[in-house]
Each structure stands twice: as C-alpha cells, then as structure tokens.
Structure 1
Amino acid sequence: MELWNVVFVCCVLCYSFCHTAEAIVKLRGNETIPALILFGDSIVDTGSNNNLITGLKCNFPPYGRDFEGGIPTGRFSNGKVPADFVAEELGIKEYIAPYTSPALQPGDLLRGVNFASGGTGYDPLTAQLVSVIPLSEQLEQFKEYIGKLKGNFGEAKTNFILSKSLVLVVSSSNDIANTYFATGVRKLNYDVPNYTDMLVQQASSFVKELYGLGARRIGVFGAPPLGCLPFVRALFGGLRRLCSEEINMASKLFNSKLSSELHKLNQSLPQAKVVYIHIYDSLLNIIQNPTKYGFEVADKGCCGTGTVEAAFLCNMLDPTTCSDDSKYVFWDSYHPTQKTYQILVGEILNKYTSNFS
C-alpha cells in the first residue's frame, strides 16, 4: 500500500472514532453500537430516491422545511426521519447518508449507510410498480458496501462492524396498503392470509441473507396501523374518513406472523439477535390520543388537504399546507411528522435496545 493510502486510512479511522457523539442509549456492559445500517422504505429513506426516475421522491419543498436550513434532502417528512433519530440517540452519527449519495466518503462507511428506498416492500412487485430500489437490489448494494469496507479497512475491521452494527429493516407498509389494497393487483392471486404468509416468507429470507453476510444485530419493524393513514382513510374510510378496520386487521395479522417467524430465527441462528420491533400500538395510541402528545390533528396530514397528497402531490404550489406542523401527527397523507417520529423512536429505543446486547 502506498504511503499516502496508509496516511489516509489512519486519518479516516482517527476522525471516525474521535468525532462521534456520545451514545445516549447504552447496551448492557456499557457496550456501544459502532454503526447503523438501514434497509427498507420511505420511513427511513434519507435520499436514496433522489436520482431515480420515479414519482416517489421528495427532494423539493415543502419537504424538509424543518430540516437544517430548511433543505429538502429526500426525506419523506418535514424534517428528520427515524434513521436520523436512531443514529443520534445511539451516538453513532448525526445523519446516516444514503449509500447512493455522491458525497459518501470512505470514513462514512465505518458508521453505517442507508440502503432504504421509499416505495419498496417485501413483495418484489411493490418496488416494480413505482420504479424504486427493491430489497433484492438493496442487498446487492450491501454486498458492495462490505467489499468497500474490506478494501479500505481490512477484513477484521469489516467483520467487527458487521457483527456489532445495528441493522434495521423497515418494510411491509407499501405491500399491504398499496400493492394489495389500493391497487388491488395482488388480490387476483392472494387473499389476506396468503399474502401475509408470502410477505413473512420474504422477510425471513431477507434476514437470513443479512445473517449470511455477517449481520448479527437485526431489528425488523412490524407494520403500523395502516388503516389509519390519512391516505387510506380517504380511500376506504367513507364520508367520515374512519380508520379501515380491514386494513388494520391485515397489519395485525402480518405482525403476528412476522413476530413468530423472527422468534424462530433468533433461536436458530447462532449468535444472532433478531428482534421484532412492534410499532403498531405506539403509533395507534398517538392517533387515538393526539392531545396527550401535544397534537391537534390526527386524521389528515399537514401538506395540502392532508388527505391524498404525498410525494409530488405534496408541493410548494399548494396554498392549503398548514403553517404549524407540530400540531399534526402526519406530515403528508402517508408519513408522520418529525415530531411524531421522535416520540416513536424514543419509545422504541427504550423498549428494545437491551434486546441487542
């Protein structure tokens, strides 16, 4: 290795380990998590869709109006998303960059990367319908990332990062709400029990793939109460825009099956910490009791009319967008506000962090 490369790597290692925020959440034995690696959909996407030819992007106002400098970064919210809050609370980094970001530097790899792409799902058809990055391609990017880690920092360091990192998988919402119910394309071949079986099988295979590549701390999010999303209320909630119990039941059925499958994987994969992360009740509690959390509006989003707008439909030309999004549980018709995400992440970390010890 040339002298310049040796100096560069040493500087990167020094900077990465000396300029890290203090971890707020600790594991047992005072152990910390060196990196955060994210897969999935728009809930944790921090800009992966920006350069894709797809309608599912949000790198324009009013998205990001509460982010630093009011800059729209491709996050599907008015500000930060769960990826940001988790990284910050664990003391890893302020923001985890998208793997596809041209600004990504070798030193960033040590703290993790984000492969998530808004609009994707466990069902391969889900990403195909909206031309975003499927989980299969996110996995290929992960393999490429591992190769870059080995090339820059060696195999021993790479194995340490992979085994000690927190790997989060956030998917299923687009499968259930969009591919199955909104478009109805999967209803031709599946009923809800069979479709949720297929999704869980895909989730299980994905976790096994991650394990095979060296990941050991893997958290998999369940589905939220999708029947209460403003978009779903508008489509299926009738004149009163009520929550759809049918779609909420589909979310709960998927969650029950996913929890059971992940428990089996946790028992069968040596040295693995595979954790099911239940988000359904936490978000439903906020939706049903908004004033308890300082919100006023829970049945529609801040952007536009709040009933159908998301992605390109949520834009700065709409004069009806609210002026104070802190009063809203949802930012657009599909995604929560930064304030809601912060509350949810706080609850999740308090409840589940010790499971990764």
Structure 2
Amino acid sequence: MTAAKPALVVHDLSKRYELGPAVEDVNFSVPVGGTAALVGPAGSGKTTILRILLGLLEPSSGSAEIGLSPVSGMLTPRGLHPARAARDHLLVYAAAAGVPDARVGAVLESVGLDSAARVKTGALTVGQQTRLALATALLTDPRVLILDEPTEGLDAAERGWLHDFLRRHTRRGGTALLSSASLAAVVAMADQLIVLSEGAVVYQGTPAKLRRNHPDRLVVAASTPVALATMLAARGYTDAVIRPDGRLAVAEASEAEIIDAAKASGVRLDNITPDPIHPDRVLASLTKSSRTAAPIFGAPGAHAPHPQPTSYGIPR
C-alpha cells in the first residue's frame, strides 16, 4: 500500500534577488489533514514561500507544489475596502470567483460574522477583519488554506477561535499552512513547525520535539551546585547546567526530587525558582532578526520579548 501524497511539497526552493536570497534551499512537506506553521522574524522568507505556493511569485530554483484543490489564501495586507460592508465585500469576491451569492451567508456564519454583515470593514475590529479576510478565502470551499500572519493583532480569545477553526478544517480532511512572526501565537495550532532565519530552515519538526530541546527548568541556589548536579545525574537527571551566577538550572526533575537529591548529597538549598521558557524566547535563540544575531537572554542590555515568560502550556 503506497503512502498518501502530501498536500504540500516544497523541494529545494530558492528565490533570489539582486541584493541576495530571500529563500534558500527550503524543503518541507505537509500531509493531508495537517497544519504547519512557517515561523520567523520579518524578512525570514515566510511570505515569499506562501506567495510562491499561491502562484504569485516564480521561484529562482526548486519547486513548490500543492497536491489538493481547491486552494485559497489570505495574505497581508488583507485587501478590505474600509467603506464597504462585510457582506458587500464578500459579494464582490464571490462574483469574481463564480460562487453563488448564497455562499456569502454561509461563510459569514462559519467565521462568526453573520451579525456584522452590514458593518463597514473599516469599523470592524482587527480580529473581525481577520475573520472577514478568512471568509473571503473560504468562498471557494478550499481543501488547502494558506494563511499569512492569521494571528497578527488577535487577542488570546480570537487566537483560540482560530485554533478551533483550523482543527475543524483539518478533521474534515483539509490542510493548512500559516505563517507567523511569533512562535507563541501558533505553537498550539500547528502539528509541524518550520522555523526560518534569513531564508533558511533552522528547525523543522513537531512542537513536542522543540519543547524537549528547550525545556522549562528549575533554577537552584545551592551551597555546592557541582555536588548536587552529580547526585542528580546519578539519579538520571543529566540535564543540569551551572549558570554564570553559580546557580544550577535543572530540567525534568521536580522540586521534590531536587530537595531529596540535595539531602542525599549533603547540599544546602537556599531557593528553587521556576524558569519556564516562553516559545518566543526559543524562537529568538534559533533565528536572526533583521540580519543581526538575536540577543542572548540574560546578557547585559538584552531584553526578552516577554518580561514574564510562561510555559508552552501544551501537551504536545
């Protein structure tokens, strides 16, 4: 029995301009029923890849193929006329796509905008404008959705709505590829992450694998951190790093296990502080922004994008 053909295949894809490459030798595939996210800072090549997939740009070399149809996309800017009502906007695009007017009401309801159908797009919130742009993409009932920065400007509740929408889409056999400058915004939505830096892939895999490579830690102030680390290693907790300030950063072991190891090794504990790793902190460590190296968190003058980082909070 042969394996099913992927919904999207990008092979050795490059796009070069006079000043240099926008995308260089990118490879990935997305299975039918999957959601993948292209993640990286501005200028990393995300939108270039999406536009090539949608046929709006020609690659310099390599290929980008879509194995399912119909396909529809949502790009930035959203293409909404501020003086046109939401329903009228969709009627214009429905006529251009040869879609019956009845489809307009269906997509407005599917994105939760039926009550705002007569509201001018300029008066809609950012979240509602994103929903309207998504409704435009849904007019042709696509099996493949290609969404450029769909979470930009959305609050947590709106991101949760988008997450649920994409899950429903993929459960019906649809496929989605989205882009984001924030890992935190899409990590719970995606089955697969493709992290880009300066046009090249620097990480590709599941959110779970990325989390294992960048775990949350407990930071321990101890009288003899080397002795504590040795005892923890003997008990199977080998991922313990002594930081420049002398504290021990321990992954995987619980607070109770650390306390027990300290007692067994005769080490005094002064305090134990959780150090959850925010996804965007991980993203910054993997990528370069504006073609300059990302700051190392904890270094003088460096600032994390979130002053109070929280854990991934996902069971992937």
TM-score, length of structure 1 as denominator length = 0.28
TM-score, length of structure 2 as denominator length = 0.30
Asked which structure has the greater CA Rg, the reply is 2
Structure with bigger strand share is 2
